[in-house]
Structure 1
Amino acid sequence: MARKKYSTKLFYKYYLDWIHLYKENAVRPITLKKYFLVQKQIKELAPDLHMNELSRQNYQRIINKYAQNHEKATVLDFHHHLKACIFDAVDDGAMESDPTRRIIIKGCKPKPKKSKFLSFYDLQRLLHYLDLGNDINWDWFILLIAKTGLRYAEALALTPEDFDFEKQQIIVNKSWDYKSKVGHFQPTKNPSSKRKVTVDWQLMQQFKTMMQDIDDKDLIFVRKGQSVYNSLVNTRLNKYCDKLEIPRISIHGLRHTHASLLLYEGVSIASVAKRLGHSNTTTTQETYIHIIQELENKDSDKIMQHLSKLI
């Protein structure tokens, strides 16, 4: 029986071919950029490593080198991008076995981060501080995300026709590519991100009044030719938080805050996942595991109180 021949191509070149074959025109441009960035990093970390030399030890060395200058969460993301290619390489017969099994994920000491979410009290103080006049501004944008949990790019893409006033819903079916030189509409992050988000009557009426002079298909927050980056709103938020002496929060942190407060109010994980546009509840559970564990502890107390009454 002839011995099976495995690929001897350089790892970084094999990874590049894999991107072209499996990822081009299959993922969003921003996701594709991440794959190309990973490929560039492999070339720097292991320029002479061939596929037939990609053992568990060599793969661990790549991870260890990358971990010297990156935090653990970033290293894990890097590992996941590599692992996808390697899984396919094994399935396609280019490798004998999977070298990523039982790999140890390391990372350098994380930098101090902004708060992931605000308490209900601090959020209330922030929202009361906003300058909510009769015209749409970035403070209205902050309020909208705090009340809906929309992603930054999803909120930027909103037009008047996305507001269903009869059902009190905001229709999310696109996002805005604010990172390109000339912004344009793009698909949502995933198919599950297409959704309808119910909001309170007051917010709907406020936006209905302010959008009277805006054409149905025109953007609400972005003006023609205007460049918008999340740093624009984050700088504003930092200023407000410092003034109020509350933890600094990012615009994405307001999305986390929205979800966290819903969970604390007893809203199911499934409902929160649907509202956020997560592809499955596993993503929601992993993101808010600390809150879920806290709620489970409270539930345990309630269970014990109930059982004690049965005696």
Structure 2
Amino acid sequence: MPRRTKSQYLHEYFKLWVKLYKVGAIRDVTLQKYWVTYRKIKGLAPTLMMKDLNRQTYQKLLNDYAVNHERQTVMDFHHQVKAAILDAYDDGIIKHDPTRRAIIKGKDPKKKKTKFLSEFELKLLIKELDLGDKPSIDWLVLLIAKTGLRFAEALGITPNDFDFEEQTLSVTKTWNYKDKNGGFQPTKNKSSVRKIQLDWKLCMQFSGLIRNLPADKPIFVTKRIYNSTVNFFLEKKCKQAGIPVISVHGLRHTHASLLLYAGVSTASVAKRLGHADMTTTQSTYIHIIEELENQDNDKIMRHLAAL
């Protein structure tokens, strides 16, 4: 592998850095984000050399990237590039840290779409699903709504993963839907490997659906499937049901929010969703948790006042 030096262009250095530290160490989906960053650096600053890196040249790179991106996206870009540059600083390739006190700019975020449905709205959506005798997007939507699976996890489910006697679904792999060749791949993290308890109705429905399907083949993948295709399908179904339009990931948010509103503990919800720790769950659903805490405080005050 060529040496990383101060006489290299920044995009060359970043490419070598990704190959050295990221290839084989992170999931392919995450790795692709680094390659996108590499292409952005090359496009925005094709002649910026490592030896010319300073706070001004680095800030200009961020500013140029911020012209067409939201602030959070710029922040993500900054974190990836900064990690490589700090290694160059630690290795003595550059003498100063040009990323120090960088200013993150960016476009105002777009109006956020509805993240989740109420219980009543979810029931209306499920009523719109055409649950025939063969696997379909309708069945995929039902499974995600009832389990909170990630999209890639749901695509990776095979008949072998169901245990109808124990009423559980084992999540041990995902489907690489972003690659044209597909294929099974590991879960997002160790915590994502889990068993999810299923309700009796879903067990009855899926036991009939998968009865004659190949045991080790993905239930919902017969050809390449796109996240956008399922989102378009969901949009149509939501409009038919007269409810807010949500994405397939919104089904996962819906699942979690309904459990929290039902009084299920944050720890149990985190485990069911396959979160690495409760911090992720708490930060994602902080608005719901705070609302429930306020309701608890009202109950506490009423109880104490009655003493």
TM-score normalised by structure 1 residue count? 0.89
Give me the CA root mean square deviation: 2.1
1:71 maps to which residue? 70
Matched, 1:15 2:14: yes
Distance in 1 separating the partners of 2:139 and 2:254: 17
Correspondence list, 1:34-73, <5 A: 34-73=33-72
Matched, 1:260 2:257: yes
Matched, 1:241 2:241: no
Aligned-residue sequence identity (percent) comes to 57
Structure 2: 5+ residue runs without aligned partners? none
Cα drift, residue 257 of structure 1 = 1.0
Structure 1: 5+ residue runs without aligned partners? 1-5
Paired letter, 2:283: E
Distance in 2 separating the partners of 1:291 and 1:51: 46
Paired letter, 1:172: V
Aligned length: 303
Distance in 1 separating the partners of 2:18 and 2:107: 28
1:3 maps to which residue? none
Cα displacement string for residues 132-166 of structure 1 (whole angstroms, at most 9, x for unaligned residues): 23333221111100011111111111111101122
Q: 1:169 to 1:93 in 2, by over 3 A?
A: farther
Q: 1:275 to 1:102 in 2, by over 3 A?
A: farther
Cα drift, residue 192 of structure 1 = 1.9
Q: 1:55 to 1:271 in 2, by over 3 A?
A: farther
Cα displacement string for residues 238-270 of structure 1 (whole angstroms, at most 9, x for unaligned residues): 111112221111111101111122222222222
Cα drift, residue 95 of structure 1 = 4.0
Distance in 2 separating the partners of 1:96 and 1:301: 58
1:80 maps to which residue? 79
Q: 1:100 to 1:168 in 2, by over 3 A?
A: farther
Paired letter, 2:301: M
Cα displacement string for residues 86-120 of structure 1 (whole angstroms, at most 9, x for unaligned residues): 34334434344544344332221333443211122
Distance in 2 separating the partners of 1:192 and 1:216: 25
Matched, 1:121 2:120: yes
CA contact (8 A) 2:256 2:269 kept: yes
Distance in 2 separating the partners of 1:239 and 1:18: 44
Distance in 1 separating the partners of 2:10 and 2:103: 20
Distance in 1 separating the partners of 2:74 and 2:54: 19
Q: 1:85 to 1:302 in 2, by over 3 A?
A: farther
2:281 maps to which residue? 284
Cα drift, residue 41 of structure 1 = 0.8
SS in 2 for 1:107: coil
Cα displacement string for residues 54-82 of structure 1 (whole angstroms, at most 9, x for unaligned residues): 33343333222211101122222212222
Q: 1:283 to 1:104 in 2, by over 3 A?
A: farther
Distance in 1 separating the partners of 2:96 and 2:302: 53
TM-score normalised by structure 2 residue count? 0.90
Cα drift, residue 35 of structure 1 = 0.5
265-274 or 157-166, which deviates more: 265-274
